[in-house]
Amino acid sequence: MLFSLRMAETATTPVSDSSYGGIHWNCSHSKRLVASMKLGLIAMSGVRAQNPELTAFGFTLPGFAERSRIVASLPSLGLLTLAALTPASIETRYLEIADLAVCHGVPGEFDVVAISSFSAQIKDAYVLADRYRALGTKVILGGLHVTAMPEEAQSHADTIVLGEGETVWPKVMHDLSSENLLPVYDARGHNFALENAPVPRFDLLEIQRYNRLTVQTQRGCPFRCEFCAASIQISPSYKLKPVERILNEIHCIKALWDRPFIEFADDNTFVNKPHSKQLMKALAKEQVRWFTETDLSVAEDLELLQLIRDAGCAQILIGFESATFSGLDGIEHRSNWKARKLDSYMDAVQRIQDRGITVNGCFILGLDGTGPESFENIWKFVCESHLYDVQITVMTPFPGTPLYQRLKSEGRLLRDGAWELCTLFDVNFQPKNMTVGELELGLRELGKRLYSEECTRERHSGFHKRYRARRRSLREVSS
Ligand code: B12
């Protein structure tokens, strides 16, 4: 298994109002807890790839392993959010399990556990759920995978929750207390308003274990990329969290960690430009560093770019997906937006990076409109665009996505139900214009080139050189 193994266990400590800046959501836990019920919130939390050659590759390449180490330390924002909606009468603990193989039996003694996992570790989640149920502990399962595969999940749980957890969690807790839990709580017909978003219970974390924390500023995305398996899967519409709510969360984090690093857990942060600008202006006063994912349209708004730069941005990650028109054609279902933007890719990278914002460009390997030549195309694009960082992943048919349905109906899934391969690095489909072996080799070879120490150093130092030169020339023009 790839990367570090971790199992953190943090007990709920009742907190006083003052330690959280008087923000109500986090502080609703009474000091006079009469703990009648013990709830374990358990996050499956590893970062992994199954293919042993890829695993070895992951360990040996610094650029690649570095990013994985960083992201591997993120907590489950979903569970921390539900914790904020859990009544004070229920004693709540938050745990993470990175690798079930090193966890014998079950961690902790609980009356009920709520387990969250994405597809890649869902089978481990099921094993854990079965172990708990064998001991008489009630199991609640929810999240993206469970929402996509409800029947499968139901056979490992007393209760499953489909869709956004917030809309039904208070009822789940009520029914739990009255020993009346239902087998299914389906929130998919409800659209949770982020105006009502509670502040996640960051105070449940042993904060020093984390090198960044997540904050969600919105859910969904107006685009419809065929492969997307993020919050678009559970959010009935694209919606924004009010800026004051986002700031509340950041203030709560700062009460625990004065100069935090934040990762926005959004599908596409800067789609709505007025909201983005309002958020950036507010963030500029907060002294936090942050990272997020977005699309290329940021490059078209110079005012926004300046605000992003001034607001403490460490890096933005942009889904370029492919370096060719044939690769992009048709992947965004609404208006073929990504294909239409291809001609502006190079300029966009330059415009963003000229403002001192580093771009991590993401490319998907194995797209239907690409063949073995695509690896060289990406390499050339990365060199010519001077991208600061690059992320390459393999096209992945996550359950619930249009891509999964299409590949299944075309008979192109190699192992249907092999969710452990949903890692973004393992190949589990028959590529259209190359063999599986060519795709795996292409990933490894391109990875070796892109993540070599030399190439990474050149990309990074090239960025700084170009940025300094641009600032010098701007100074000369203005003087
Ligand atoms: C932070 C993050 C991580 C973190 C934290 C994981 C964690 N334990 O939550 C880490 C770094 C560990 C991680 C690991 C991986 N990740 Co990740 N990650 C993300 C990221 C950036 C944000 C997720 C997030 O915080 N969302 C916000 C919260 C509020 O939403 P939520 O979790 O869906 O929770 C809501 C509901 O689903 C529900 N809910 C969730 N859990 C539960 C449980 C119960 C009991 C109930 C009732 C309700 C409920 O209620 C919540 C509130 O509405 C997303 C990308 C993105 N932009 O969204 C990718 C993403 C989720 N990750 C992804 C992947 C592929 C991985 C890895 C496989 C990478 C790898 N190679 O190892 C692993 C898999 C780990 C696993 N457990 O299977 C995919 C998952 C797709 C899928 N459907 O499986 C995403 C969408 C990225 C992508 N490119 O497609 N990831």
Q: At what angle do helices 374-385 and 436-451 cross, to 10 degrees?
A: 20
Instruction: Return the H-helix or E-strand segment holding 214.
Output: strand 213-215
Q: How far is CA 417 from CA 145, 430, 433, in A?
A: 12, 15, 24
State which H helix or E strand residue 422 sits in: none
In three-state secondary structure terms, 257 is coil
Nearest protein Cα to ligand 1, atom 20: 265
Which residue's CA is the closest to the ligand 1 atom numbered 21?
Answer: 265
pLDDT grade for 103, boundaries at 50, 70 and 90 = confident
Q: Is the pTM of this model over 0.95?
A: no
Beta bridge partners, 331, equal none
Whether residue 341 contacts residue 294, with contact meaning beta carbons closer than 8 Å, is answered with: no
CA distance 431 to 452: 27
Q: Which atom of ligand 1 is nearest to the CA of 2?
A: 72
pLDDT of res. 72: 58
User: How, if at all, do strands 9-10 and 37-44 pair?
Assistant: unpaired
Cα 243 to Cα 146: distance, rounded to the nearest angstrom: 30
The tally of CA atoms less than 13 A away on the side-chain side of residue 444 is 18
pLDDT of 61 over the 70 cut:
no
CA distance 314 to 446: 25
118-177 pLDDT, tens digit per residue, is 999 999 999 999 999 999 999 999 999 999 999 999 999 999 999 999 999 999 999 999
Nearest to 7 by CA among 262, 206, 212, 256: 206
Classified as helix, coil or strand, 455 is helix
Pick the closest to residue 128 from 108, 147, 149 (CA basis). 108
Least confident stretch, 170-179, 311-320, 466-475: 466-475
* The two structure tokens encoding residue 261: 């690093």
What average pLDDT score do residues 59-65 get? 55
State the helix-helix crossing angle for 436-451 and 453-478, rounded to 10 degrees: 60
Atom of ligand 1 nearest to the CA of 125: 77
Question: pLDDT grade, residue 117 (50/70/90)?
Answer: very high
Residue labelled with tokens 């960051």: 202
Which residues, judged by CB distance below 6 Å to any ligand atom, belong to the binding site of ligand 1? 43-49, 71-72, 74, 76-78, 81-82, 114-121, 140-145, 161, 164-166, 214, 216, 229-231, 234, 265-267, 293, 398, 422-425
Question: How far, in Å, CA of 415 to CA of 49, rounded?
Answer: 16
What spacing in Å lies between the alpha carbon of 144 and ligand 1's midpoint? 7
Atom of ligand 1 nearest to the CA of 425: 71
Smallest CA separation from ligand 1 atom 40, residue: 143
Nearest CA to ligand 1 atom 58: 230
Q: 407-416 pLDDT, tens per residue?
A: 999 999 999 9
On the question of pLDDT at 333 being above 60, the answer is yes
CA-nearest residue for atom 14, ligand 1, is 47
Tell me if 394 sits within 8 A of 366, measured CB to CB.
Answer: yes
Question: Which residue, by CA, sits nearest to atom 66 of ligand 1?
Answer: 423
Q: Tell me the per-residue pLDDT of 345-376, one tens digit each, with 9 for 90 and over.
A: 999 999 999 999 999 999 999 999 999 999 99
**Smallest CA separation from ligand 1 atom 72, residue:** 47
pLDDT (0 to 100) of residue 60: 52
Q: What is the DSSP string of 10-24?
A: E------GGGGTT-T
Token pair recorded at residue 458: 């050149």
Q: Residue 68: what pLDDT? A: 60
What are phi and psi for residue 88, nearest 5 degrees?
-65, -25
Ligand 1, closest atom to CA 165? 50
